[in-house]
Amino acid sequence: MVMTTTLHTCELNQPHPVSNVNELLKELRERTGRDWQICGHPIFVGRKWVFGPYIYKTRYCLYLYVGGVLPWQQLTIYPDSPDSRDDGTAKIVGYMTGYLSGLRHGQDQRDATDAIMSAKLKDCPPPYTGRTNGKSFK
């Protein structure tokens, strides 16, 4: 099921702590021409002891702008358990890498098809018009 939501302006265009993720995000935006966002959200994990401080972890999600009433589609899901060490970065990198490789593969296929078709057209004789030297076969 598709999940759409709203994001506040303070959540947009925030850099991810890992620079490689930011580079992938930049490439994804350039290749698709769409607005992609990675947002970190604090998730409550627990307390150290009864009167101790609260413990929060930051979990990251990938969003795509789709427009409408709730304009952002959430593309990655949080881990099942709040105790999980996964902060969502691995899922985001996996999704973006797969999306980019699909774009590259599709472009490679289009380039190969264009090369094959242009090679076939060069070797083909001109189309038969039913006339030879200006005279018809009738």
Q: Is 133 within a domain?
A: no
Q: What is the pLDDT of residue 30?
A: 92
Q: What is the pLDDT of residue 79?
A: 64
Q: Is 135 within a domain?
A: no
Q: 29: domain range?
A: 4-124
Q: Is 21 within a domain?
A: yes
Residue ranges in the chain whose pLDDT is less than 50: none
3 contacts 73 by C-beta, under 8 angstroms:
yes
Q: Is 20 within a domain?
A: yes
Q: Is 132 within a domain?
A: no
Q: What is the pLDDT of residue 93?
A: 87
Q: What is the pLDDT of residue 89?
A: 83
Q: What is the pLDDT of residue 137?
A: 53
Q: What is the pLDDT of residue 63?
A: 93
Q: What is the pLDDT of residue 129?
A: 57
32-48 pLDDT tens trace: 899 999 998 888 877 77
If one counts the domains in the chain, the total is: 1
45-64 pLDDT tens trace: 777 777 888 888 888 889 99
Q: What is the pLDDT of residue 29?
A: 92
Q: Is 138 within a domain?
A: no
Q: Is 61 within a domain?
A: yes
Q: What is the pLDDT of residue 38?
A: 92
Q: Is 76 within a domain?
A: yes
Q: What is the pLDDT of residue 56?
A: 84
